[in-house]
Amino acid sequence: MNRFKTFLLMTVLTVILVGLGSIIGGRSGGMIAFAVAFVMNFVSYWFCDKIVLRMYGAREVSQQEEPQLYGSVASLAQRAGIPMPRVFIIDDDSPNAFATGRNPEHGVVAVTTGIKRILSRDELEGVLAHELSHIKHRDILIQSVAATLAGAITMIANWARFAAFFGGSSDDDEGGGNIFTVIIFSIIAAFAAMLIQLAISRSREYLADDGGAGLSGNPLYLAGALRKLNAGVARNPMNDANPSTAPLFIVNPFSAGGVRSLFSTHPPIEERIKRLEDMAYRR
């Protein structure tokens, strides 16, 4: 169900993008909007891993430097049937982890120094299994494309409102809709794109939880890790994190509560833990 939901939401994002371009510039506008998204997706596909690793100052480690961490990743990768990912460490006290890379052959797993301090070996394996599940199912590519499409929609919507206010709009076939249509649709499109991106991210997190629980052999490993990570991030959020990379992390790197939690890139921690515990008790 989550896979079908992801496909459906990606389709809707594409339709919104092309529709927004068409309203602004008619048929040629729709084609231009699609071309913009294609170029942005091309860049994110080839360089997403390098960009995010440099953004957080991550350093690659070898088996000699981190034998336990490296060994756990190697064992889980073999179990998952994917090539050994590169392993990186981020010098940050906030406990978190993420995976990146355009496909399993170029997979990367990164963990913070904070996560190594607060998790047991089993709990860390649960987290690593979750991240390898992302790599196995190419979630990084899916989330990167979703983020790029949503970003393109927001960028074009902002430009459309600016142009409508200050440049007017023609009513011919190739000139798009009138000023009110452009303004209203651009606002709706940008908000819908944000919600769809969040929904895609949440769906992939549930799938990675399920896959990680199977890889580690015990859903309670990941459940226990999520409980500790939630408390750890609340005490020590990664406030210098880039919001555009938040969906990559296993838990939201920002401390979010109340209304802000409705717009979180991650499902509620309590719901994730409950699903994992139910899975363990059904075994």
Q: What is the pLDDT of residue 187?
A: 81
Please write down the HEC assignment for all residues of the chain: CHHHHHHHHHHHHHHHHHHHHHHHHHHHHHHHHHHHHHHHHHHHHHHHHHHHHHHCCCEECCCCCCHHHHHHHHHHHHHHCCCCCEEEEECCCCCCEEEECCCHHHCEEEEEHHHHHHCCHHHHHHHHHHHHHHHHCCHHHHHHHHHHHHHHHHHHHHHHHHHHHHHCCCCCCCCCCCHHHHHHHHHHHHHHHHHHHHHHHHHHHHHHHHHHHHHHCCHHHHHHHHHHHHHHHHHCCCCCCCHHHHHHECCCCCCCCHHHHHHCCCCCHHHHHHHHHHHHHHC
The closest alpha carbon to 241, from 52, 77, 22, 43, belongs to 52
Report the C-alpha gap between 126 and 180 in whole angstroms. Answer: 51
Neighbouring-strand partners of residue 109: 87, 99
Q: What is the pLDDT of residue 110?
A: 97
- Domain residue extents for the chain: 2-282
Catalytic residue among 131, 174, 270, 277: 131
Query: In angstroms, how far is the first alpha carbon of the chain from the final one?
Result: 21
Neighbours of 211 (CB within 10 A): 20
* Residue 270, C-beta contacts closer than 8 angstroms, at least 6 positions apart: none
- Beta strands 97-100 and 59-60: pairing type? unpaired
The closest alpha carbon to 110, from 77, 135, 140, 87, belongs to 87
Q: Are 116 and 66 in contact (CB under 8 A)?
A: no
Q: Along the 283 residues of the chain, how does pLDDT read in single tens digits?
A: 456 666 776 677 777 877 777 777 777 777 877 787 777 767 777 777 888 899 899 999 999 999 999 999 999 999 999 999 999 999 999 999 999 888 899 999 999 999 999 999 999 999 999 999 999 988 877 776 776 677 777 777 777 777 666 655 444 444 455 677 777 777 887 777 777 777 777 888 999 999 999 999 999 999 999 999 999 999 999 877 777 778 889 998 886 554 345 456 788 999 999 999 999 988 6
Q: What is the pLDDT of residue 64?
A: 96
Known catalytic residue at 60: no
